Amino acid sequence: INNYPILDELNLHVPWLDKAKEICYLGGITHIRGIKEVVKSLGYTDGVRLNLAGKFSESDVEKEVKSWPEWQQVNELGLISRESVAEVLGSSKVGIVTFHACPNHVDAQPNKMFEYMSAGLPIIASNFPMWKDVVEGNDCGICVDPMDPAEIGKAIKHLIDNPAEAERKSRNGYNAVVRKYNWPAEEVKLFKLYESVLFI
């Protein structure tokens, strides 16, 4: 049973031209979730801002990244409500999930990736095989080396500078969620599991 998003919970259907020159990261903020590389990647973009929602778990990492010049391109939002999450996704043009290659990441599918897709955002994701199957298989984003800020920055710049392609990828991701990566589809599996247990 996958923890896929609820359809349209986070999608405000903001017209593409009304979106800001911003990307977003939502969730726990740690070294192994790639915060250092994401912040550094901003230096390879043309003034793109990062909407950063979540809480730092490592004070030393927080202190380090906040000392960098690239931090001036970060909108630090802290912990926010689900309603505010939808607003951040609505104003952003790209969702980023570039976790490091730890076993818990490589062999799992992060819920935030599907939430970005459900909100109609193209994704920049780590180039793990399982993640590439989703992102490249549905043509809804770009996979990168999560340890390479320059490559991450190049992908951000590409999507920001090519709005027609980015909007197409955003539609592809949203449509993939509507077709298969959604909670109602998983709910059916859960109910069948309950029935098999209850009526053995």
The size of the chain, in residues, is: 200
Where does the chain show beta strands of DSSP type E?
22-26, 49-53, 74-78, 94-97, 123-126, 141-144
> Residue 81 above 90 pLDDT?
yes
Are 5 and 115 in contact by the 8 Å Cβ rule? The answer is: yes
> Residue 11 above 90 pLDDT?
no
In 3D space, the residue among 24, 21, 26 whose CA is nearest the CA of residue 47 turns out to be 21
Tokens 């778990």 locate to 57
Q: What is the pTM assigned to this prediction?
A: 0.88
- Report pLDDT digits (tens) over 94-103: 999 999 999 8
For the chain, give the mean pLDDT. Answer: 89
As a whole number of angstroms, the distance between CA 91 and CA 12 comes to: 9
In 3D space, the residue among 95, 125, 121 whose CA is nearest the CA of residue 12 turns out to be 121
- Give the mean pLDDT of 178-185: 72
